[in-house]
Amino acid sequence: MAPIILYHNCVSTPSRFALLAFRNLGIDVEIRNVDLLKKEQLKPEFLKINPQHTVPTMDDNGFVLWESGAIAQYLAETYAKDSPLYPQDTKKKALVNQRLQFYLGTMLPRMRQVTHPILFEGLKEIPEVKRKLLYDAFGFLDQFLNGSDWLAGDHVTLADLSILANITTIVSFGADISEFKNLSAWAERCKTLPGYDENMEGVKMFTAFFKSFYDGKI
Ligand SMILES: N[C@@H](CCC(=O)N[C@@H](CS)C(=O)NCC(=O)O)C(=O)O
């Protein structure tokens, strides 16, 4: 069987989450870069496989899937059934799913509400109400980590990988998480995870781009 193809852009936070899932589950992947600045995602050949034109998109020998969380879950359930990254126990798995939904429904949108108007709408300042929502989300994460080293219990799960892609980005952009002691300690702990340095390469590129629009405090 040919390796799974990941249509990827290293600047994209969800795309880096999907790649972290491959790396931490130990699954071979062939990366195909999609240049979003050149709008390669809108080319007819890409639209044919993903009409929603987003990265990450995965092609497992003809089975095509997008949405970073769905990709990570598929990989774990198909190729790493016994992996603690996505536990079989229904309660443990439900907790991972809840955190993954927090990533998708709360963390990612709150980060984008702060960064996208700067990147795409010419805004020069971050509205205080948007900043507060982002920092509230940091506070929730800090509480999730009360009494445990990882976001969904005592070992790394897919939930940690999703938030890792996010937090490394927003901290590199200028957010200060030092008041959130559990979250800061967790961010340090994550540095040993497979794919961490690769994630940081994308973060660095994205940061250089972001800072060309805004170089202040987040
Ligand atoms: N919820 C999706 C978000 C994917 C997404 O928005 N990707 C952006 C890059 S961060 C993208 O591909 N944008 C290009 C476009 O929409 O045309 C996921 O988790 O995979």
Residue 84 belongs to a domain = no
97/204 same-domain check: yes
Query: Would you give the DSSP letter of residue 177?
Result: -
Phi-psi region of 34 (alpha: psi -120 to 50; beta: other; left: phi over 0): beta
73/177 same-domain check: no
Q: Is the pLDDT of residue 94 over 90?
A: yes
- Residue among 55, 66, 205, 210 to mutate when testing ligand 1 (max atoms within 8 A of CB): 55
User: Is 125 buried (19+), middle (13-18) or exposed (0-12) by CB count in 10 A?
Assistant: exposed
Task: Mark which of 45, 79, 113 sits at the end of a domain.
Answer: 79
CB of 141 sitting under 6 A from ligand 1: no
Residue 169 is predicted with a pLDDT of: 98
Residue 173 is predicted with a pLDDT of: 98
102/206 same-domain check: yes
102/136 same-domain check: yes
52/112 same-domain check: no
Residue 134 is predicted with a pLDDT of: 98
98/44 same-domain check: no
69/98 same-domain check: no
- Beta bridge partner(s), residue 58: 6, 65
- Residues 101-156: pLDDT tens digits? 999 999 999 999 999 999 999 999 999 999 999 999 999 999 999 999 999 999 99
CATH of the domain at 131: 1.20.1050.10
Q: Is the pLDDT of residue 1 over 90?
A: no
Task: Mark which of 79, 113, 145 sits at the end of a domain.
Answer: 79
The overall average pLDDT reported for the chain is 97
- Residue among 54, 75, 169, 210 to mutate when testing ligand 1 (max atoms within 8 A of CB): 54
Q: What is the mean pLDDT of residues 8-37?
A: 98
Residue 65 is predicted with a pLDDT of: 98
Q: Is the pLDDT of residue 75 over 90?
A: yes
Residue 135 belongs to a domain = yes
Number of structural domains (the chain) is 2
The alpha carbons of the chain give a radius of gyration, in whole angstroms, of: 17
Residue range of the domain that includes 110: 90-211
Strands 57-60 and 4-8, how do they pair? antiparallel
Catalytic residue numbers read 12
CATH of the domain at 46: 3.40.30.10
73/122 same-domain check: no
Task: Mark which of 51, 79, 107 sits at the end of a domain.
Answer: 79
CB of 68 sitting under 6 A from ligand 1: yes
Please name the residue that has the structure tokens 């799960």: 157
The closest residue, in CA terms, to atom 13 on ligand 1 is 54
- Residues 47-61: pLDDT tens digits? 999 999 999 999 999
Atom of ligand 1 at shortest range from CA of 34: 12
CB of 202 sitting under 6 A from ligand 1: no
Cα of 148 from ligand 1 centre, angstroms: 31
Question: Taking a C-beta distance cutoff of 8 angstroms, is the pair 148, 154 a contact?
Answer: yes
66/148 same-domain check: no
Question: Taking a C-beta distance cutoff of 8 angstroms, is the pair 167, 218 a contact?
Answer: no
40/139 same-domain check: no
